[in-house]
Amino acid sequence: MITSQIDRREALGGFAAIFGAALISPLRRAVAAGTDPGMGPQNDIFSDEQRTLLDALCERIIPTTDTPGARDAGVTRYIEMIIDEYYEPDAREGFLDDLQAIDEYSREQRQAPFADLAPEQQDDIVSLAEQRQLDGADDDFFETIKQLTVTGYYTSEIGMTVERIYLPTPGRYDGAFPYAEVGKLFTA
Amino acid sequence: MDRPPQSTEFDAIVIGSGATGGWAAKELCENGLKTLMLDRGGSVEHRQDYPTEGRGAHELPFRNRWPPGKQADYSLSPTARPENYPFYASDDEQPYVYDESKPFTWIRPGVVGGKSLVWGRQCYRWSRQDFESNRADGHGVDWPIRYDDIEPWYRHVEGIVGISGEALGLEELPDSDFQPPMPLNIVEQRFREVLARDFDDRVLTIGRVANLTLDMPEQGRVRCQFRNQCHRGCSYGAYFSTQAVTLPMARATGNLTLKGDSVVESLEYDAAQQRVTGVQVIDAHTGVRSVYRARVVFLCASCIASNQILLNSRSEAMPNGLGNTHDVLGRYIVDHVYGVRAFGTFRGQFEQFVEYGRRPNGFYIPRFRNLSERESMQDFVRGYGYQGAARRLAPESGAGFGAELKQRLRVPGPWQIYMLGFGEVLPDPGNRVLLSETAVDRFGIPQVRFDVQWGQNEARMGADIARQSVAMLRGAGATEIVSEDVLGAPGRAIHEMGGACMGDDPAQSVVNRWNQLHVAPNVFVTDGAAMSSGSCVNPTLTLMAMTARAANHAVDLVSNDAV
């Protein structure tokens, strides 16, 4: 058989270990968020106030429990990127209007910005949005924000590696692995 | 080191660098022929050009969604994904035409390595019956070779490709020289038991796949790590690709020159000598044309592209294309019956189990219809097999939000089996590729025009694929069984074959039993174009074996000065 150009010693002696090490340390070489296209918003879409509001809103959808929630996972930044990159101007305006509707409702009914409310009070308002009873917000606003939050959270580093189990290099396949041993999902 | 590119004279030219081109180059180079390998795509070097490999969604641009607007550039390549679309040709790089009533999906790579970088890796030997079907039922050109002609070449390539699988000793699905099989999961194992018990003509086995389960240190390749990211390129070399296997072997000889970005326009034919004397190449970046010369030429550009090159090689002697002396070139195009699939759910069963690791493979159910030794009761001829897998579905998130939602998203959905039929398409002279008389690509090369549609045999086979998959899933205790029995457009299985069919009679075929053009024996067509029928199993293993066989024949002819 023909020997390829690859050093035989490298191939025979712990090749997988040497090579695997480079592959399974993705965190070290993660692209710095926000600097490259697709790693964060390229433009400021939200005001600081809107970011604070979104942080609070997304945190109610995927809250901190025994693992970090949407706020720590940076879901607001993810949403800002999606809106910056994929939303047409009309849809972008609509999204911002819906955010404003939430805050206005909070200020009118609770005399405080949404972000400053207690979690239970925030949940009441989110429930209203879910039931499509929040004045001034689109009927699909709750589903939109839920979808964005879920996707943003479970594709974040925290969602991928803390909330779920990330196996960049599983090394083997077991088609009858007991779920009870982990109690959560492996990242797809 | 590749040879300096200024040389235009070689012993051999290989057009295309996919699975077959890579094999041709390897065999020719190892036998001492100075070989030029051309590809229209740009360079992809093993390991260094797999930028998305090993990265999770959180480490990829746009969390591994398509960048804005980008997917529209790849509408002709439905298998391209956000993490590997640069391996494919964009729409403007590969235009083609068809009548609206007869759509064809031509999925085409755009880099060196071709489809070997992104293929499905399923490897099955053809059976004896496969080589005899054309003669038996009268459809297509009778194969001039049989299983015994190709069998040594299967062994020749299998030992180097590295194929994992389970030996079954079946006549209808001959075993390869296997590495140990990947495991079935618990639901697939149960499905296998049900089929063995209740369907006496059916067997379920793990997919036979060009993914290593044992290291191959002599090739610098490491066994599969169960990442299921093969389509991004694999630095372990765990799956067979040109980059991982045949290209380094060809390069190691010192006999290879690889030129990417080289679009082959046509072959120059000398009627007096009955040979091709040059390969017309356009530089994909500069548009500059040049001619390369060699004693032998291997056409491994992919089925459709090789047909296009032959059709576009028009000379005074052969105004309708090289080898098209009897209006046979471009005809008998087949793919596989594809798109008929079924799903069955196992709610409340096996719930305590999940998958650890991501297996880049599924199960296979070999052909059981119309086997030669059994009586046919079907309303169609030939047969089909199934590929599929059992997997757990995504969590069912349901309504609401908050901690409950988060908890629900920790619980996997039920197990589901999906299964997809791959059926043999009858070779039909009416199914053909031509050159458009009006449309040209960016180099001025006439575009391919497809005139291909499936007939009644394919429709009846598709209906049986759907019926039998439902029956098997029901037998296994699945519920919520859904089947989709709409045939995909021809080309969608990405198993295009035919057009330069192999046969003994120059009036009815384009290449001879050694893949040589009848009209120009120094040209070997060894990709899917030379296939006179398509079997129902994935073609690449057979194409690689046939290429190795033809290349060694070419070497013999060159050494004996017979070509």
Q: What is the pLDDT of residues B64-79, one digit of tens each?
A: 999 999 999 999 999 9
- Confidence bin at B397 (pLDDT 50/70/90): confident
Quick one: average pLDDT of B463-468? Answer: 97
Query: Which residue among A37, A154, A168 places its CB closest to the CB of B61?
Result: A37
- Under DSSP, the state recorded for B63 is G
Average pLDDT over chain B reads 96
pLDDT reading at A33 higher than 50: no
pLDDT reading at A25 higher than 60: no
pLDDT reading at A28 higher than 50: no
Angle CA A7–A11–A13, to nearest 5: 110
Higher pLDDT among residues B397 and A15, named by residue? B397
For the segment B177-200, what is each residue's pLDDT rounded down to a tens digit?
999 999 999 999 999 999 999 998
Q: Do B357 and A185 touch (CB under 8 A)?
A: no
- Confidence bin at B307 (pLDDT 50/70/90): very high
Whole-Å CA distances, A139 to A62, A131, B552? 21, 8, 69
- Confidence bin at A30 (pLDDT 50/70/90): very low
Quick one: average pLDDT of B382-397? Answer: 96
Quick one: average pLDDT of B376-403? Answer: 94
pLDDT reading at A4 higher than 50: no
Please report the pLDDT score of residue A35 as a whole number. Answer: 66
- Confidence bin at B485 (pLDDT 50/70/90): confident
ipTM over cut 0.85: yes
A4–chain B Cβ distance below 8 A for any pair: yes
Quick one: average pLDDT of B141-165? Answer: 98
Whole-Å CA distances, B263 to A55, B300, B347, B411? 53, 13, 53, 51
Please report the pLDDT score of residue A95 as a whole number. Answer: 97
| Beta carbons of B121 and B362 less than 8 angstroms apart | no
- Chain B residue nearest residue A152, CA to CA: B63
Q: Which amino acid is at B42?
A: G
pLDDT reading at B25 higher than 80: yes
Q: Do A161 and B236 touch (CB under 8 A)?
A: no
Q: Do A16 and B222 touch (CB under 8 A)?
A: yes
Please report the pLDDT score of residue A36 as a whole number. Answer: 87
Task: Residue B517: name the closest of B496, B499, B502 by CA.
Answer: B502
Domain ranges (residues) in chain B: 169-215+336-424+453-489
Indicate the number of domains in chain A: 1
Higher pLDDT among residues B60 and A6, named by residue? B60
pLDDT reading at A101 higher than 70: yes
% chain A with pLDDT above 90: 80
% chain A with pLDDT above 70: 81
**Touching B: A residues 96-125, CB under 8 Å:** 123
Please report the pLDDT score of residue B454 as a whole number. Answer: 98
pLDDT reading at A19 higher than 80: no
pLDDT reading at B176 higher than 60: yes
- Confidence bin at A27 (pLDDT 50/70/90): very low
pLDDT reading at B6 higher than 80: no
- Confidence bin at A21 (pLDDT 50/70/90): very low
- Confidence bin at A2 (pLDDT 50/70/90): very low
- Confidence bin at A188 (pLDDT 50/70/90): confident
Higher pLDDT among residues B115 and A19, named by residue? B115
Grouping H, G, I as helix, E, B as strand and the rest as coil, residue A82 is helix
Quick one: average pLDDT of B472-482? Answer: 97
- Under DSSP, the state recorded for A91 is H
Q: Do B225 and A2 touch (CB under 8 A)?
A: no
Please give the interface size between A and B, counted as residue pairs whose CB atoms are below 8 Å apart: 190
**First-residue to last-residue Cα distance in chain B:** 28
Q: Which is it for strands B289-299 and B520-525: parallel, antiparallel or unpaired?
A: parallel
pLDDT reading at B378 higher than 80: yes
Distance from CA of B351 to the nearest CA of A (A): 8
Distance from CA of A21 to the nearest CA of B (A): 11
Distance from CA of A98 to the nearest CA of B (A): 18
Please report the pLDDT score of residue A164 as a whole number. Answer: 98
Q: Which is it for strands B178-179 and B163-164: parallel, antiparallel or unpaired?
A: parallel
Its domain, for residue A133, covers 5-169+176-187
pTM to 2 decimals?
Answer: 0.94
Please report the pLDDT score of residue A91 as a whole number. Answer: 96
For the segment B496-531, what is each residue's pLDDT rounded down to a tens digit?
999 999 999 999 999 999 999 999 999 999 999 999
Q: Do A170 and B227 touch (CB under 8 A)?
A: yes
| A74-78 own/partner pairs: CB under 8 Å, 24+ apart | A74/A33, A74/A152, A74/A156, A74/A158, A75/A148, A75/A149, A75/A152, A75/A153, A75/A156, A76/A46, A76/A51, A77/A33, A77/A34, A77/A40, A77/A41, A78/A148, A78/A151, A78/A152, A78/A155, A78/A156, A78/B63
A10–chain B Cβ distance below 8 A for any pair: yes
pLDDT reading at A1 higher than 90: no
- Confidence bin at A16 (pLDDT 50/70/90): very low
Distance from CA of A115 to the nearest CA of B (A): 16
